[in-house]
Amino acid sequence: MTDPLSQWRPEFPILDTCTYLVSHSLGAMPARTERHLATFAREWGTRGVRAWHEGWWEVGRVTGDLLAPTIGAAPGTISMHQNATVAQSIITSCFSFDGPRRRIVVQDLDFPSNHYLFHGFERYGAAVVTVASDDRVRGRIDRVVDAIDERTAFVNLSLVLFRSAHLQDVRPVIDRAHRVGARVVLDLYQAAGAVPVDVTALGIDFAVGGSVKWLCGGPGAGYLYVRPDLMRDLKPAVVGWAGHAQPFQFEPGPIAYADGLERFQSGTPNVPSLYSARGGYEVVAEIGVPAIREKSLRLTRRLMDAASARGWRLNTPDDDHERGASVVIDVPDGAAVTQTLIARNVIVDYRPGAGIRIAPHFYNTEDEIDHAVEILAELVGDK
C-alpha cells in the first residue's frame, strides 16, 4: 500500500538516525525549523532593535493565526505564551473566586501541572473538586458532568488524557457547564495536531496547549484560545505591559486592556520560540489533521494488535473513537525496558503507573512499528 505521507520523512532529519516513536513527548523537528531560526538570528543580527517594528511585536498574533486552522479557531483568537501552564494561569486569573461560584472541577487524570496551579488558587478562594477515575485509563465523563453545578466557575478538561491517550467525549461536559453558567477550559495538548479538533464547533470557552508534541513546534510556544465573544469581558490579573491598549505610552497605574487577544499577553513576546513553532504548524496545516489521524489510527491499531497477540497489557482504550495518538503498553520492569529500548535506538518513554508510551506520527512507517515490537518482544522474553 502506498503511503502519501511517507514523502514527509526527508523533512525530519532525526528519522534517519533512530526509530522515533515519542511524538506524544517531543515531536520531531522539521528541517525548515532550522531556517526559521536562522531568519530570527539574521533579523536580530542585521536589523537589531528595528526588528520589533518589522514583525517581532506582532509575532504572537501571527503565530496564533498560523495554528488557528489546525484547531478550528478563527483568526485573532489565539495568544501565545511560554507554555500551557502559563496560558492556563492567565485564564484562571480572569476569575475572582470570591462569590458563590468558586469551584474548579478537574479529573484525577489531568496533567498534574493543572492541579498544582488550581490548588495554588485556593489561597484566593478557589475550591478544587477532583473527579476520580476507576482505572487510571478512562476518564469518567459522567462523574465530571455530575460534579458541575451553579457553584462551578470552570471545568478543566483534557481532550486526550496524557497517561492513557483516552480521547474523551467532552460534549456533555460543555453542555452541562453552559446550562449552569460555568466555563470550560479544554486542554488540547495531547490532541492538537494528531486528533481533529474544532474549538468553534464545540463552542468551548477556552483552550490551552503547547507545541512540543504533535505540532512539532518545539518548546516555548504555549497557546491560549479564547472564544471571541468572551474576550472583551475578561480581565486577567496575570498581565503585563504588552497587554495594555497602548503599550508604548508606558502609562502607570492599573492597566487599560487591549481590545483583542493582546490583553492576554504578559510581557515581551518569546520571538525565537515562536519562529521555531512555525515549521511544525506549517507542515501539520499542509498535511491536514484528518490525513494525520487516518494514518495514526492505522499505526496505533497495528501496534495494539501486535501487543495483544503477545499478551501484553494495554493501558489505552481499544476503540478508535476513544483513543488519541499514543499507545501505552504495560510490561514487567517497564522503566528498565524503556531504557534498553532507547539504548537500542527505539525512542519511546515511560510513565509510572501507566507503562511504555509509544507514539507514531504521520512520518512513521509500519516497518518502524514492527521493528519496535520485535525489540520489545526480545526484551520481555516472549518472541
Ligand X SMILES: Cc1ncc(COP(=O)(O)O)c(C=O)c1O
> Which residues contribute to the site for ligand X (CB under 6 A)?
83-85, 111, 113, 158, 162, 187, 189-190, 210, 222
Q: Would you say 113 or 200 has its CB closer to ligand X?
A: 113
Residue in the structure block whose three cell numbers are 522539521: 30
Residue type, 210: G
The dihedral built from the CA positions of residue 289, 290, 293 and 298, taken in this order, carries a sign that is: negative
Question: Quick check: helix, strand or coil at residue 30?
Answer: coil
Residue type, 72: G
The dihedral built from the CA positions of residue 374, 378, 380 and 383, taken in this order, carries a sign that is: positive
CB of 102 to ligand X, least distance (A): 23
How far apart are alpha carbons 329 and 311 in whole angstroms? 10
CB of 52 to ligand X, least distance (A): 25
Q: Would you say 59 or 80 has its CB closer to ligand X?
A: 80
Q: Please, what is the Cα angle at 353 between 351 and 358, to 5 degrees?
A: 40
Cell of 279: 515549521
Sort 225 into a burial class: Cβ within 10 Å, 0-12 / 13-18 / 19+: buried
Q: Would you say 174 or 185 has its CB closer to ligand X?
A: 185
CB of 162 to ligand X, least distance (A): 4
CB of 197 to ligand X, least distance (A): 13
Residue 145's region, left for phi above 0, alpha for psi from -120 to 50, else beta, is alpha
CB of 44 to ligand X, least distance (A): 25
Cell of 255: 492597566
Q: Would you say 158 or 315 has its CB closer to ligand X?
A: 158
Q: Would you say 190 or 316 has its CB closer to ligand X?
A: 190
CB 24 within 8 A of CB 213: yes
Q: Would you say 356 or 380 has its CB closer to ligand X?
A: 356
Residues 6+ apart with CB under 8 A from 235: 94, 257, 263
Q: Would you say 40 or 162 has its CB closer to ligand X?
A: 162
* CA–CA distances in Å: residue 371 to residues 2, 113, 312, 347: 19, 34, 16, 12
CB of 332 to ligand X, least distance (A): 26
Residue type, 271: V
Q: Would you say 59 or 84 has its CB closer to ligand X?
A: 84
CB 116 within 8 A of CB 83: no
CB of 353 to ligand X, least distance (A): 15
CB of 254 to ligand X, least distance (A): 28
Q: Please, what is the Cα angle at 71 between 1 and 261, to 5 degrees?
A: 155
Q: Would you say 210 or 360 has its CB closer to ligand X?
A: 210
